[in-house]
Amino acid sequence: MIGGLFAKVFQRVPSLLYRVSLMMKPQVVFVLGGPGAGKGTQCSKIVQSFNYTHLSAGDLLRAERAREGSESGQLISNYIKEGKIVPVEITINLLKKAMEETMQEDEKKFRFLIDGFPRNGDNLQGWKKVMEGKADVKFVLFFDCGNEVCIDRCLERGKSSGRSDDNRESLEKRIQTYLQSTRPIIDLYEESGKVRTIDASRCVDEVFADVKAVLDKEG
The answer to the question of whether 85 is labelled as a binding residue is: yes
Q: Is 41 annotated as a binding residue?
A: yes
Q: Is 182 labelled a binding residue?
A: no
Is 116 one of the annotated binding-site residues?
yes
> Is 96 annotated among the ligand-binding residues?
no
> With contact defined as beta carbons under 8 Å apart, do 137 and 112 qualify?
no
Does the annotation flag 111 for ligand binding? Answer: no
Asked whether residue 157 is marked as a ligand-binding residue, the answer is: yes
117 known member of a binding site: yes
**Count of alpha carbons within 13 Å of 175, Cβ hemisphere only?**
20
CB-based contacts of 127: which residues, under 8 Å, 6+ apart?
Answer: 88, 92, 117, 118
196 known member of a binding site:
no
217 is in an annotated binding site: no
Tell me if residue 204 falls in helix, strand or coil. Answer: helix
| Cα 97 off chain centre by | 13
87 known ligand binder: no
Q: Is 86 annotated as a binding residue?
A: yes
Residue 209 DSSP one-character state = H
Indicate the SS3 state at residue 49. Answer: helix
The SS3 call for residue 200 is: coil
168 annotated as a binding-site residue: no
174 annotated to bind ligand? yes
Q: Which residues are annotated as part of the binding site for CMP? A: 123
Please give the annotated binding residues for a ribonucleoside 5'-phosphate, written as ranges. 62, 84-86, 116-119, 163, 174
Residue positions forming the annotated binding site: 36-41, 62, 84-86, 116-119, 123, 157, 163, 174, 202
Residues flagged as binding site for ATP: 36-41, 157, 202
